[in-house]
Amino acid sequence: MLPSNEVTLGRHSMRQYLWFWLSSPARRTDFIGGGMNSMSVHLSENRRDREAFGSEISQARRELVAGLSQKAARIAPKYFYNGLGSRLFEAICLTDEYYVTRAEAEIFATHAGAISAAAGTQPTLIDLGAGNGAKAARLFSTLRPRQYVAVDISVEFLEQAVGRLQAEYPHIPMLTVGADFSENFALPGDVETSRRLLFYPGSSIGNFTPLEAVQCLRRFRAACGDDGALLIGVDLVKASPLLEAAYDDALGITAAFNLNVLRHVNALLHSDFDVGHWRHRAHFNEDQSRIEMHLEATKTQLVTWPGGARHFVRGERIHTENSYKFTQRGFTTMLAQSGFEVTHCWTDAAQRFLVCYARAQ
Ligand SMILES: C[S@@+](CC[C@H](N)C(=O)[O-])C[C@H]1O[C@@H](n2cnc3c(N)ncnc32)[C@H](O)[C@@H]1O
């Protein structure tokens, strides 16, 4: 049985599954012995939950140490998303340079009727990496989901966002699930099993290498069941100045988002990264068809954590994100390799972005 909390909002209760721990500061400080909110007090009293959360923390620490110890140091992009990281991502979406969110919104607005005709109404809508859930909420009026399930690694931010959505849409039963879908994951038993529509917008699949992306899509295929489907948005290859500007905006919000990963790593690993000694770098690697984000050391420094340390020389980089850019043919091939049959694809007028609807095969 997964640990869960029930929150009553409107006519329905919103159930929150808290079996995953990673980036909720409230839960982290609770586990470590700091400040508590009522939900974390409940959890801290449950020894089994504490053990589960403890093992997630240990795994995160092992993963971070392994990445930082590689010759070319790296931190997985999922570590961007503590509470501040999730809010900074929302701000990135508002920048002039980040066309991704607007191009995708144009597709959902222009093709809303065709999307609901393809997907059918009243699906079980499962929002993967839901963030603030705003993109899924824009589909509520046409899809009229029988249940909305928001899955994310940034648990506290997710709970707050879905709490607001539940108040706005009291007739839709909602669940929040904390999970890391870069690994095997299971949806809790309360998630309706029929007609699951997995929703994965924002080109988040582009954060995985092509091999990892196929593995991740296969996990989604397993999660959606034989009568399920996937509605997914990906960014298309385009001229590098446009791409590079989108990942290095003039206000420095993407830079702050990238640098904030060091704060999150410090909190998880008890390391002593000084954010002031690093700078944001983003460039388009044409050979790999991906934007790469790095953090570059502005001075030679020693970074320590309990049981370890790493010496960085000035100019050395930590690779923090890949964001692969796709062609329609390349991406639909990837979906077919993952057990999906693509039935519809839509682009925006400027052909910057692609949304595909694919049925489980
Ligand atoms: C780029 S944001 C997209 C948010 C929203 N879906 C959108 O399109 O605007 C990626 C979201 O996925 C979540 N996320 C990143 N890696 C994840 C992982 N491995 N497992 C679960 N959620 C993850 C982040 O917390 C964040 O909310």
- Segment 225-274, tens digit of pLDDT: 999 999 999 999 999 999 999 999 999 999 999 999 999 999 999 999 99
Mean pLDDT of 150-173: 98
233 CA closest ligand 1 atom index: 8
Per-residue model confidence (pLDDT) at position 50: 56
* Listed residue (115, 125, 128, 140) closest to 202, CA to CA: 128
The closest of 161, 182, 159 to 77, measured between CA atoms, is 182
Q: How confident is the model at residue 184 (pLDDT cuts 50, 70, 90)?
A: very high
pTM of the model as a whole: 0.90
Least confident of 40-44, 137-141, 295-299: 40-44
The mean pLDDT value of the chain amounts to: 90
Average pLDDT of the residues in 287-312 = 98
Residues of the chain with pLDDT > 70, as a percent, come to: 85
Residue 55 CA to ligand 1 center (angstroms) comes to 22
- Please state, in angstroms and as integers, the Cα–Cα distance from residue 222 to each residue in 200, 217, 218, following that order: 15, 9, 6
How far from each other are the two terminal CA atoms of the chain, in whole angstroms? 31
Cβ of 206 less than 6 Å from ligand 1: no
Q: Quick count: other Cβ atoms within 10 Å of Cβ 361?
A: 12
Please state, as a whole number, how many other Cβ atoms lie within 10 Å of the Cβ of residue 120. 11
Please determine, for residue 150, whether its predicted confidence score (pLDDT) is greater than 90. yes
Least confident span in 40-44, 71-75, 231-235, 313-317: 40-44
| CA–CA distance, 60 with 21 (Å, rounded to integer) | 10
- Residue 122's pLDDT band, with cuts at 50, 70 and 90, is very high
Domains parsed from the chain with CATH numbers: 84-238+330-360 (3.40.50.150)
Structure confidence at residue 26 (pLDDT): 37
User: Of 176, 154, 182, 180, nearest to 80 (Cα)?
Assistant: 154
Q: Where are the alpha helices (DSSP H) in the chain?
A: 25-32, 38-44, 47-69, 83-92, 99-110, 112-119, 134-137, 140-143, 155-168, 210-224, 240-246, 253-269, 328-337
Q: How confident is the model at residue 39 (pLDDT cuts 50, 70, 90)?
A: very low
Whether 133 is in the pocket of ligand 1, judged by its Cβ within 6 Å, is: no
Is there an atom of ligand 1 within 6 Å of 104 CB? no
Residue among 304, 316, 293 at smallest CA distance from 72: 316
- The residue whose CA has the least distance to atom 8 of ligand 1 is 202
pLDDT at position 17 is 65
Q: Is the pLDDT of residue 191 over 70?
A: yes
**Pairing state between β 317-324 and 290-297:** antiparallel
User: From the CB of 201, is ligand 1 less than 6 Å away?
Assistant: yes
What's the mean pLDDT in 10-39? 41
Distance 44 CA to ligand 1 centre (A): 26
The full DSSP string for 261-301 is HHHHHHHHH-----GGGEEEEEEEETTTTEEEEEEEESS-E
Ligand 1 atom with least separation from CA of 201: 8
Tell me what pLDDT residue 32 has. Answer: 23
Tell me how far the alpha carbon of residue 152 lies from the centroid of ligand 1, in angstroms.
6
Q: Which atom of ligand 1 is nearest to the CA of 136?
A: 6
| Ligand 1 atom index nearest CA of 152 | 22
Confidence at residue 190, expressed as pLDDT on a 0 to 100 scale: 96
Question: What's the CA gap between 158 and 176, in Å, rounded?
Answer: 7
